[in-house]
Structure 1
Amino acid sequence: MKKAKYLTKVTDLNKLYLDQVITEGDIVVDATMGNGYDTKYLAEKVGDSGYVYSFDVQEEALKSTKKKLEKENLQDRVKLILDGHENMDKYVEKKISCVVFNLGYLPRAKHMIITKPNTTIKAIEHSLKLLKPHGVVSIAIYTGHEGGPEEKNSVYDFVKTLDQNEFNVLECGFINQINNPPQLVLIEKKKEY
C-alpha cells in the first residue's frame, strides 16, 4: 500500500480505502468521470485484464478523459460513456468491485451542470445491485454549490436505511475545515441480496 503524503483531500483518503479493494482484473465504474482523474486511477488499478466503465453527461468530460487515457496508453481498458450514471445498469452487466462517485460539478466547466439527488440515488441503487460481495461504493460529496447540501441530505437519508446485515456504511470527513469540506461515504457490500 502506498503511504499517503498528506491527509488534506477526500480523494487521497478515498484511495487509501480503494487501494485495499480493487485488484488487477476487476471491473469497476467511475460514475462521475469529470476530468478523468478517477478513471485514470481505476484503469491503472485494474490492469490489462480489468475494465473500467466511466460515465458523464458532458462531452467535454469525455474529451478530457480520453486525452488523459491516451497519454498513458490506458484507453483499451476503459469504456467512456456519454450518459448519466443513473443508467449504468444499461451498460454494466457483470459484477463489479467498486463504484466511485464525485458529486457536484465538473471543475473548470459549467457549474450549473451538477449531479442531482434523484439520479444519484438511482445510480447508488444500481451500484449496490451490481457490486460483488466486499465490493465498495465510494461517494465523495461536495456541498459548496447550489443544490449540494440537498444532494448530501438525500444520500445520507438513503444510506442510513441500508440494512446493516447486508452493508457497512462509513462516513469520513474533515471536521475542522471551513467552506463546506467534502464528505466521503463508503458502502461495503457484505453479501449477495
Structure 2
Amino acid sequence: MSDRLQDIQGFLREIIVPRIELGDTALDLTAGLGRDTLFLAQAVGPNGRVYAFDIQAIALAETQRLLEEEGVAEWVTLHQADHARVQEFVSEPVKLAMFNLGYLPGSDHSVTTQAKSTLQALQDVLKLLVENGILALTVYRGHPGGEEEARAVHEFLTDLPPKSYSVLEGQYINQGDKSPYWILVQKKRGEI
C-alpha cells in the first residue's frame, strides 16, 4: 500500500485487491494514462479480461504502451469510446469497474468526463456487476463541470436501494470542498 494517504488510487487498490481474482472480468471506464487498466490486467491475469474506455486517442496510446511494456496487453481490449457506450461493447458479467472522473493529467483540461454520460455509464455498469461486484470511483471536482458531475453522481448513488447496494464515500476533510474523493459501491443483489 502507498504510505501516502494522499494517493487515493493506491488506497482504493488495497481495498479492491482481496475482492478480485484471477480470471475475473473488469472495466476501466476512464483509461487515462493506463495505470488503473494495468492494475486490473495484473489482477485478473491472462485468463481474465479487461475492457478499457477513453474518448482520447492519446490516452489509449499511452495505455497500450504501458500494457505492452508490462506484458499484459493480450487480455485487455481498448475502446476509443465514451464510457456511456459500455453496453455496446461489454455484455459479460463484471467483477470490478473503475472510474477516475475528471480530465486526462497533462492534457487539455477542457476535455472532461461529463455528468450525463457518467450517469449513463453508471447505470449500465451496475447492471453488468455480479453479486458482490465492486464499482470504484475517484471523483475530481476542481475543474469546470466537476462539481456538477460530482453532485449528479452523488445523487444517483445515494438513491440506490440499500437492500441491493452498499455505497461508501471517503474524502479529505482538511483540504477544502474541491478536493478529490472516492466512492465504493458493492452490489448485493438485484438490478436497477
TM-score normalised according to structure 2 size: 0.96
Amino-acid identity (%): 35
Structure 1 match to 2:69: 71
CA contact (8 A) 1:132 1:192 kept: no
Question: Aligned runs of 1:28-43 on 2, under 5 Å?
Answer: 28-43=26-41
Within the candidate set 6, 9, 16, 1:18 is matched to 16
The count of aligned residue pairs is 191
RMSD (Å) for aligned C-alpha atoms = 1.1
Distance 1:162 1:60 in 2: 35
Runs of 4+ in 1 over 6 A off after TM superposition: none
Greater shift in the superposed pair: 150-159 or 172-181: 172-181
CA contact (8 A) 1:10 1:173 kept: no
The AA in structure 2 aligned to 1:138 is A
Displacement, 1:180? 2.3
Within the candidate set 87, 90, 108, 2:106 is matched to 108
CA contact (8 A) 1:135 1:189 kept: yes
Q: Secondary structure at the match of 1:66?
A: helix
Distance 2:140 2:57 in 1: 22
The AA in structure 2 aligned to 1:129 is K
Question: Aligned runs of 1:1-193 on 2, under 5 Å?
Answer: 3-178=1-176, 180-193=178-191
TM-score normalised according to structure 1 size: 0.96
Distance 1:172 1:16 in 2: 14
Structure 2 segments unaligned to the other structure (5+ residues): none
CA contact (8 A) 1:86 1:123 kept: yes
Distance 2:174 2:10 in 1: 17
